[in-house]
Amino acid sequence: MSTPSEQAAIPQPSFIVNFIKTLAFMLVCGIVGPIFLIIYLLSGGEPLISWMLWTGLGITILDVAIAFVIALGRTKSQEKSLRLHTVGRRGVAEVVSVEQTGVRINDQPLLELHVRIHGDDMAPFEAQTKSVIPDFRLPLLYAGPMPVLVDPTTQEWEFDWDAARPAFNPGTAPGVPYQAMPAPAAPVAAGAPDQRPVEERLAELDSLLQRDLIGREEYDAARARILGAI
């Protein structure tokens, strides 16, 4: 469960606010609708351009309808997030599979996820969902178990991105949701040659890169040193 300070940082969902913001965006995208209406009205209802009235009206009504649906969905998502941060329990989600849908929303991929969730005082369960995951968060899905917030009664859940850090290992056993990870050992210690097989050292190096524990330049330099020592 979140602390009072964390709960206070979460804004109260407002359908009106979401609707106004979304409608403003939709009207900008579909500005031709209002423009047609304005032109028709300024012409004094000229019969020759009466098509502008119906076309403009149709486009504007469509903009309003789409804005209503999007705002409603966004508000429900925000209400769910607020509820989970208020009464939800912390758990762990093991990502079983990640499938690309080929769809991008706001230039971010829509993924189909299959996860296995467990934690203290909750029965383990599996869930499948489609979710938009920003590109910069994708490495976290492959770095190991993910922290989640769960409503044990309804089994509603969401990733706790704020708690998902490459420097932490959520653990795999129920009851141990968060464990500090030991600091990664340098791939090659200065003055003490690593005697492990090259394959094992390269595999460890790849793992460190995947978990964002080392940068690409450091990875390339360490890999070159390992291969150069063969």
Q: Do 63 and 103 sit in the same domain of this protein?
A: no
Of all residues in the chain, the percent with pLDDT exceeding 90 is 21
Three-state secondary structure call for residue 110 = strand
Q: Are residues 138 and 214 in the same domain?
A: no
Do 161 and 97 sit in the same domain of this protein?
Answer: yes
One domain for residues 150 and 208? no
The answer on 189 and 211 residing in a single domain is: yes
Angstrom distance (rounded) from CA 212 to CA 224: 19
Same domain, 194 and 213: yes
Provide the pLDDT confidence category of residue 59 given band limits of 50, 70 and 90: very high
Q: What is the pLDDT of residues 155-206, one digit of tens each?
A: 889 988 878 765 444 443 433 444 434 444 444 444 455 667 877 778 777 7
Backbone torsions φ then ψ of 69, nearest 5 degrees: -65, -45
pLDDT > 70: percent of the chain: 80
What residues make up the domain containing 150? 88-177
Task: List pLDDT tens digits, range 81-138.
Answer: 888 888 888 899 998 888 888 888 778 888 999 999 998 878 899 999 888 888 888 8
Whether 80 and 92 map to the same domain: the answer is no
3-state secondary structure at position 109: strand
Quick one: 40 and 58 in the same domain?
yes
Domain count across the chain: 3
Residues 140 and 98 reside in one and the same domain? yes
User: Where does a domain end: 177, 199, 221?
Assistant: 177
Instruction: Look at residue 21 and give its three-state secondary structure.
Output: helix
The sign of the torsion formed by the CA atoms of 96, 109, 11, 129 equals negative
94 and 41 together in one domain? no
Q: Are residues 79 and 92 in the same domain?
A: no
Rounded to the nearest integer, the mean pLDDT of the chain is 79
Report the distance separating Cα 52 and Cα 109, nearest Å: 37
Same domain, yes or no: 173 and 93: yes
**What local confidence, expressed as pLDDT, does residue 15 receive?**
92
